[in-house]
Amino acid sequence: MTEALAKVREELGPDAIIMGTRSTRKGGVFDLINRSEIEVTAAVDDRPTARGASGMSTPDADRGRPMTPRDVSGGISSSRPVYQPPRNVVTPADTGGSPIKNLGQQVKIDTMMDEIRELKRSLRDLSGLASPGDMEGLPRELSTVFKRVREAGMDERIAKRFIRQLLHELNGSELTDHDRIVERGTALLLEGMGDVAPIQLRQDQPRVVTFIGPTGSGKTTTIAKLATEYALNMDKKVSVLTIDTKRVDAVGQLKAYCRIINIPLYIAYSPDEIPGIMPGIMESDLTLVDTPGSGPMDRQQMLDMVDFLQKLMPQEVHLVMSVTTSLREMQRIADNFGMLKPNRVLFTKLDETEHYGAMLSYALIAHKALSYITFGQDVPGDFAVIDPKKLIEGTLSAKQVAQE
């Protein structure tokens, strides 16, 4: 405020005073360049001061005073200059006296307090950007929400920025209203995530959907769930293709599923076999493609999968990850499979944890489209189109998400 006052007096003269402040915010809740700005409203009281007995101002009083018509004419001006206050500032006519002395009597106390809170909040946000700091001194409900998201495994930096944004946007009684905090917090997190995009079939256009991810993430079981749903419940022509031919009994597991569902299974041991399989794929409404898991050191297997996908040309590539995976590991997995160009993210094994913080953090960082969640081994069943709002609300309220 000292710097702002100095700037105001430099522009308007030494008699200028600050009438009010308002904070504005640039950037979003997860924008690393997020910052606050303070807008200052200032005015100058140009009533005559320090007059001598003759009614003329003294040399000392004139020092630093803005020039008036009397200064130009050398005498008393025929029309006195009129003070033009900033909008919403009380005038002498409103108060019956000086606008400076009586201003506090006219402005509502709650408005002034809001301005003070906004200023404090802006300063707190600015200091928080310079250093992560801690979250001490938060209103009780916000402190509780911060504790919950951290216990759920949300990344600390994301959690702190999230709470600061809530502190900036909510006022007064809202900061003690749990439902209001959850409502606004859910909206903020949803804004930072990608769209929900399950498998999209097109009429008379075969759809090829590939599933990639580390070993044990649940790709094969997820494919069986989706194949059952589309073949039996939606009456679509479904086929399955596997290129996971090295893992023990991987083909045998899919053969059993496909025999039960009564759909064709294609097996490709090399990319060169794909052209011979394509006629069968083109007769299906939907072909689900199973792929081998790959570690970060198995670059050759990853390059082989690139060759497979270049021949298959899938419209959708779903990156499958367990929700029990840490955020750091999710990012490593995404980097490892990045050359396969996944355009969906599918989370599995929600039944194995009540903590969704890492999943939500990854969804905010990656900002990719989200497709499905799975929460059990039953086929058919135990999967759904992902509902980020439900998962967020469950996390903020510390309630286990009941699956439908």
pLDDT grade, residue 131 (50/70/90)?
very low
204 pLDDT higher than 60: yes
- What distance in Å separates the CA atoms of residue 42 and residue 19, rounded to the nearest whole number? 5
User: Which run of H or E residues covers position 385?
Assistant: strand 383-385
Average pLDDT, integer, range 248-255: 82
pTM of this prediction? Answer: 0.67
For the stretch 71-115, pLDDT in tens is: 433 443 444 444 344 444 333 344 344 443 444 454 556 666 666
For the stretch 169-183, pLDDT in tens is: 998 889 999 999 999
Does 227 or 83 have the greater pLDDT score? Answer: 227
Q: What pLDDT, on the 0 to 100 scale, is given for residue 92?
A: 39
- What distance in Å separates the CA atoms of residue 340 and residue 303, rounded to the nearest whole number? 9
Average pLDDT, integer, range 58-78: 42
Q: What pLDDT, on the 0 to 100 scale, is given for residue 107?
A: 52
Q: What pLDDT, on the 0 to 100 scale, is given for residue 198?
A: 96
Q: What is the full DSSP assignment across 64-128? A: TPPP-HHHHHSS--SSPPPP-PPTTPPPHHHHTS-TTTSHHHHS-HHHHHHHHHHHHHHHHHHHH
Does 329 or 51 have the greater pLDDT score? Answer: 329
State the alpha helices, DSSP H only, in 262-387: 274-282, 299-312, 327-336, 357-366
Give the C-alpha distances (Å, rounded to integers) separating 264 from 208, 273, 305. Answer: 14, 16, 22
Residue 296 contacts by C-beta under 8 Å, 6 or more apart in sequence? 332, 336
- What proportion of the chain, given as a percentage, has pLDDT over 90? 53
Beta partners for residue 23, in sequence order: 38
Which CATH number applies to 207-396: 3.40.50.300, 3.30.499.10, 3.30.160.40, 3.40.190.10?
Answer: 3.40.50.300
Yes or no: say if 37 and 26 are a contact pair by the CB < 8 Å rule: yes
Q: What pLDDT, on the 0 to 100 scale, is given for residue 189?
A: 96
Domain boundaries, the chain: 2-72+82-108, 132-191, 207-396
Mean pLDDT rounded to a whole number for the chain? 78
- What distance in Å separates the CA atoms of residue 102 and residue 94, rounded to the nearest whole number? 9
